[in-house]
Structure 1
Amino acid sequence: MTLVDRVSSLKAKHATLDHLITREVQRPVPDASSLQSLKREKLRLKEEIERLSP
């Protein structure tokens, strides 16, 4: 897997997490623990994308 492929894969996962966070927030009673976990993972991916991007 090339660096470009890796960054693209991370961006796709980041977008998926963004979608999941949006869905969770829109629930009548969002699960705070789940939401925190999703946000933490999204931030981790963002940091890795920034680290790998030229």
Structure 2
Amino acid sequence: MKIIKTTTGEAEFVMEEHFSSEEKAQEGTDAVSQEVKDLEIKIINTKWKKVDE
């Protein structure tokens, strides 16, 4: 028997990206670096299910 846990939720984040030029920044391509500055996770629902193998 297996136990399957399914969790659903929402995530909010602030991501900071650094670009080598204004053109790439406007296009949103080829970021030199990316960093998540703030992350908030909200669990909405958790379900458990038993499954026979």
Task: Give the TM-score normalised by structure 2.
Answer: 0.21
> Greater strand share, 1 or 2?
2
More relative contact order, 1 or 2 (CA 8 Å, 6+ apart): 2
Highest Rg: 1 or 2? 2
